[in-house]
Chain A
Amino acid sequence: AQSVTQPDIHITVSEGASLELRCNYSYGATPYLFWYVQSPGQGLQLLLKYFSGDTLVQGIKGFEAEFKRSQSSFNLRKPSVHWSDAAEYFCAVGPGFGNEKLTFGTGTRLTIIP
C-alpha cells in the first residue's frame, strides 16, 4: 500500500531564512508526487508536482522540490521564506491518472518569526 510520511509536525523559521520540508513515500511503481499548501482558513492549493523528467521541479511562490528515487524522498525547499509562507504543507503520492485517490501525508505546519 502506498504511504507518505512527513516527519516534522511543526517547523519554525525566521523570515528570510531557508526552508526544507521533508517528505518520504512508499509506492510500488513510479510515483506521481505533489506538494499542496493550505493557508489558514483556506482549501489546499497545488504548489508543484512531479510526474517524470527533471528531478528538480519548480513551483509557485518560489518553491522547488527534488525527487530522489534512491531515498524515496520528495523534499520541498525555498531559499528565503516570507511571512506569507506561514501555512500547512502537505505532501501527496498517487498514480497520476485514473480514479485512484491520492494519499496525503499528515502535514507540516510552518511558522515564520520576524
Chain B
Amino acid sequence: NAGVTQTPKFRVLKTGQSMTLLCAQDMNHEYMYWYRQDPGMGLRLIHYSVGEGTTAKGEVPDGYNVSRLKKQNFLLGLESAAPSQTSVYFCASSVRGNGANVLTFGAGSRLTVL
C-alpha cells in the first residue's frame, strides 16, 4: 500500500530553470495539497485541489502552478525557479467531507535552487 508517493526526492536547480514535482496517491482521495516546509515556519499551503480538473490557491501560491488532470495525480510546477523556492515540498491527500483535515503525507521532495 504505497499511500502518497512524491518524485523526485531531491533536485538541484539553477535560478530560472523549470521543473515539475509529481505527487501520486492510490487511496482514491478527492483532495490533494502541496505544502512547503521552511525552518521556523511550519507548513504553508501552496495550492490544493478538491477534485480532478480543479485547483485553488493556498497561502503562498506565487511562483508555482499546479494541475490535476487525473484524480490520483497532482503536479506542482516551477516555471522559473528562484533561490527563495529552496525548500522541502510535501504533498498530501485527504477524503472529502468530515475528516478532510486528516491528511496523508508523502515523504517530501527537497529542492535547492542555486
A residues within 8 Å of B by Cβ?
Answer: 9, 32, 34, 36, 41-46, 49, 90, 92, 94-102, 104-107
Contacts and interface: CB of A to CB of B under 8 A. Distances in A.
Closest 7 CB pairs of A and B: A43-B105, A94-B101, A106-B42, A104-B42, A104-B43, A99-B50, A44-B105
Given A41-B107, A44-B105, A101-B59, A96 B99 contact: yes
A36 B107 CA distance: 14
B40 A96 contact: no
Nearest to B110: A41
A42 B42 contact: no
16 contacts: A32-B101, A34-B101, A34-B102, A36-B103, A43-B90, A43-B105, A43-B106, A44-B105, A46-B102, A94-B101, A96-B98, A99-B56, A100-B101, A104-B44, A105-B42, A106-B41
- Indicate the size class of the contact surface on chain B: 20 to 34
Given A90-B42, A97-B99, A101-B59, 19 more contacts: A34-B101, A36-B105, A42-B108, A43-B105, A43-B107, A43-B108, A44-B90, A46-B103, A49-B102, A95-B101, A96-B98, A97-B100, A99-B50, A99-B56, A101-B33, A101-B48, A104-B43, A105-B42, A106-B42
Contacts, number: 64
B22 interface: no
B78 interface: no
Interface of A is mostly: loop
Given A42-B107, A99-B56, A106 B101 contact: no
Nearest to B97: A97
Most buried by A among B4, B92, B99, B102: B102
Contacts of A99: 31, 48, 50, 56, 100
Interface in B67-114: 90, 92, 97-103, 105-108
